[in-house]
Amino acid sequence: MSHSPVSSVSSPAPLSFHPPAHASLKQITTLDKDGQEITTVGFNRFGFDSEVPLDVLRSLYLRSHYVLSTNNLDDVNDLDSGAAEIQHAKFLQGHAAYQSKSIYHPDTQSISYTTLSRFPPVKLLPPSQRKRILVTGGAGFVGSHLVDRLMLLGHEVTVLDNFFTGSKTTVSHWIGHPNFEMVRHDVVEPFMIECDQIYHLACPASPPHYQFNAVKTIKTSFMGTLNMLGLAKRTKARFLISSTSEVYGDPEVHPQTEEYWGHVNPIGPRACYDEGKRVAETLTYGFQRQDGVDVRVARIFNTYGPRMNPYDGRVVSNFIVQALKGEDMTVYGDGNQTRSFQYVHDLIDGLITLMNSDETRPVNIGNSDEFTIGEFAELVREIVEKVQDQDGDLRMRRVDIVYKEMPTDDPQKRRPDTTRAKESLGWQPRWTVRMGLEEMVRYYKAKMAEGSI
């Protein structure tokens, strides 16, 4: 496809939508760390506009995708009406026109799927601005949010995923769109395509998944990165790898800057992931020095948000699902180990900004607000109770917090020094942990209402 400028096509106006308001529901506003309302995510920076309205983005993951039915097909009760509407419309205030509505029959526990009748509106970009973007691991938690953003921005997106931990349902709302392609493929095998940018996110990232087949995890980190770097070299595409704070291991320096070399056990149960990502970074800079490949390295710290697998052993999803189900919340160790959590929209802002900047050094992308795991469990319990009270849900009892034995090589402290991201990208987290948790609690609550958790 030609990418030469087309003089007759003017620059597109920013996306703007005016959904019908739900007069009976008080809309929930989201405030950032400075108390300002968040209405859009993304930036217009480094010649790349990544700004989209928050309500449009939310309509892709915070709305129910089923309608409820009895045996009689004429008696179809939309999950978005009545009680379940309250789970969603407080945040969304409309956009129902762009949703698929599959019919769920609770009596037989069967579902009749439908395709989307209409896709969400995307920007109409002139060919000179429209990029062909490959996202490996694009059906995963982080990948699917990146795909949503890139699609709404009007780019051509190809998702590569083998669905080991990803799920087709996270990007199914784009299947059939002329700008979108979904390919089932394992990055351990070479892949040929023409593209301008590669976001290489493919690798299981939670301990139960990456320890399930440790050799395969190392192979994915090394061979997958080797194949994608080879593709970037051939197509002259810009390459971004999602590395991890795990490259710092159990750090002896606090907070961790990008200059810190890490403190990693190379033969422990987590080594397949930690050392896999470290060698992937080595490979990335090898291609930069040897072959002139244009590379970006994002070291991602703990991230949470909608579409996280509720059963993947991560602390945020564990706590929320346990609290919503009325089960006791499990803390491993004494609860004094610390973590810093960033919301997924902040991470996507950071990834897109890094990709389009000139920063080739590794960049920490994370939130420097630090919590002990014990404090975090109490915060989750408080927010779950707040949401249940807002929705008039009755609790049988207050859930307790129980302590269990600590897993091997679990880091005691982890907090990013994000000075580099702030100085060279102009990026810093906007979402408070409290606001992000409230949205995630509503996401899981809505998933429970539609029977998918």
According to the model, what pLDDT value does residue 20 have? 41
According to the model, what pLDDT value does residue 223 have? 95
The pTM of the full predicted model, rounded to 2 decimals, is 0.85
Per-residue pLDDT at 80 exceeds 60: no
Q: What is the mean pLDDT of residues 201-223?
A: 85
Q: What is the mean pLDDT of residues 340-346?
A: 94
Q: Higher confidence at residue 397 or residue 17?
A: 397
The predicted-structure confidence for 213-243, as pLDDT tens digits, reads as follows 888 889 999 999 999 999 999 999 999 999 9
Q: What is the mean pLDDT of residues 47-51?
A: 91
Average pLDDT, the chain: 84
Per-residue pLDDT at 22 exceeds 50: no
According to the model, what pLDDT value does residue 5 have? 43
Q: What is the mean pLDDT of residues 9-29?
A: 48
- Residue 273 annotated among the catalytic residues of the structure: yes
Q: Which of 61, 199, 210, 273 is catalytic?
A: 273
According to the model, what pLDDT value does residue 103 have? 76
The predicted-structure confidence for 423-441, as pLDDT tens digits, reads as follows 999 999 999 999 999 999 9
Per-residue pLDDT at 349 exceeds 80: yes
> Cα(419)–Cα(396) distance, rounded to whole angstroms?
46
